[in-house]
Structure 1
């Protein structure tokens, strides 16, 4: 069976969409379920090319799984060899302008091999490159999704940590307020004790004053006792008769 250019381009697209495990390119970045039984590499490979063959038949191209595998392996081998000879960063420019090949620092043998590959009708370098770029794009999307998940987990973790730190901060402030209250109570107790002590000193200071008053009273009493007794006043007879 002869492969036409249209069949080859369709094959490249189908292989990309089917993926390595037969589940499509989007399944490359996904991990298999833990409960699923392990599938051998051989069965996985057969399933892939069987899916590719089925997709080709749906488009009206009746090719077997083995034919699809052999053709794509040949395309991939040529594509990788060009990249190995010219370098990935340079191969695309040389494919677009083969005159650049003469300016490259390569051995004559390597230049001749590269020129044969570039002139081959079976290279399909652009199509293989486009499929590779698309595959990288999907891989980057999967990576971005994983990073987004990690970012979400970190946000959730940091939010919980912030709540915990806020709770610890409030607990610390509460303890500080409690310490301040205890200090105020202690200060109040000290002031009450100091005030009570000064009152006791005033009572003791009042004792000498009372003793002085008592001594003064005793002195007056003694003076009165030493004074001679006064004679009672008897009115005279003349005054009494005149009054009568």
Structure 2
């Protein structure tokens, strides 16, 4: 999971007046984000959860409903990478990425939908990626994100009659610690790495976590009520 993405989305939704539940691998991992939201006057709760564990996801959703009485928005942004060329990839590297990026998204959708259907409404935003179109060394990640896109479109059709919208955000190259780690693994200078990515963008820059958070806020807000089953590419206009 990229904690900077998580924090930016949480801050944007809290600024719009939402009571925010921050979920990470452990409750301690949420502490910094929760403290910042509360310091800014927001209402926030932190929960620890393995997103690929059915029991933990169910317990987390029940706790949200116990504390706040309802669940109106689900943002699935948990993700990991285990980059390696497919011919040398280990089974556990494939399985781990699929379990978290796809399995975790599916499990949270299925669990949250039970509550949303009782409420007759809700918004789900899944994190896909431009890497779904294929990226050498990321076949596991690409496969998971492509599946998330298909899952999003299917769920939108199935859940529309219950008043639930389901959309996906597909970020392009965004300056995050995950990207810094990738540059380090590749043995390239971070600044040059970002400059090369910026040159491939129509806007001449890489994205920020705030760029992504703004789109998520729109997809979970009142102005997107007639928008569902879409994957929104937030990539700065890559060719």
TM over 0.5: no
- TM-score category by the smaller chain? under 0.3
Q: Greater helix percent: which structure? A: 1
Q: Greater strand percent: which structure? A: 2
> TM-score, structure 1 length as denominator?
0.24
Name which one, 1 or 2, has greater alpha-carbon Rg: 1
> TM-score, structure 2 length as denominator?
0.25
Q: Which is bigger in relative contact order (C-alpha 8 A, separation at least 6)?
A: 2
